[in-house]
Homo-oligomer: A and B are copies of this chain.
Amino acid sequence: MTEHLKVDEKTSRRDLVTQLDRENQAKIIQKLKQLLPDSKILAEEKQSGIENDKGLMWVIDPIDGTMNFVKQQEDFAVMIALYEDGQPLLGYIYDIMRDVLVHGGKGIGKVFNNEIEIKQPQNIELDDGLIGLSGPMLVRNVYHFQEIEEISLGTRVLGSAGIELIRVLLGKQVGYISHLKPWDFAAGNALAPVLNLKLRYIDDTAVNVLKSGVVLVATKKAYSAIINIVD
């Protein structure tokens, strides 16, 4: 997997891309275009041509957690979502190394962990769960992240939105907060509501699949607690 890996920096030394991100994305786009020829594509490594959210649109992160992919060869994910007129129909988060595919959405009214339907996670409080947080945002204490950490049972910093989202969807973490691009939250936004979880911007507004922002996904109880802290 790591043979001949060509690693480039994008916006900073912590923001990496490899030729496998690009190759993987090209293959995914080709397959999805065959499936729905009239669909639009919004993808991490090719950001152009999307002027509005009308019609069918695929949102693709070919490798989420590229730093983990490069350094750890684990804790990264492929994420794909299908939207129609800006509303999520289906989401797919694939943790390749664990061979765990979490997928589903409003389009089918269910979410699966591979072939097994996922039950709604317990609606636990912030102080009864582990919370996934962005490391740099925790250090800078934006949005009172340090208070959120102290109320929770502990923080986890995994370095991949996809892996963190899987943990929340499976009820392993009470929530996750980070600054996310559309392809980082698009699949999670298709999956979370089906499992009675809330996913919104940290200012308590609905996410827009064309707009980046700080996104909070959590059980309803933890969501309320965090919004109160952040306010």
Contacts and interface: CB of A to CB of B under 8 A. Distances in A.
Given A67-B153, A158-B156, A72 B130 contact: yes
Given A13-B153, A139-B146, A130 B71 contact: yes
A138 B156 CA distance: 12
Given A71-B129, A71-B172, A14 B153 contact: yes
Nearest to A98: B98
A135 B153 contact: no
Give the number of times this chain occurs in the complex, counting copies: 2
B153 A71 contact: yes
Given A72-B173, A139-B138, A149-B139, A159 B156 contact: yes
Nearest to A153: B14
Given A71-B173, A155-B157, A156-B157, 20 more contacts: A13-B153, A14-B154, A71-B129, A71-B130, A71-B153, A71-B172, A72-B173, A73-B172, A130-B159, A135-B138, A135-B149, A135-B154, A135-B155, A135-B157, A136-B150, A136-B154, A138-B139, A139-B150, A154-B159, A156-B158
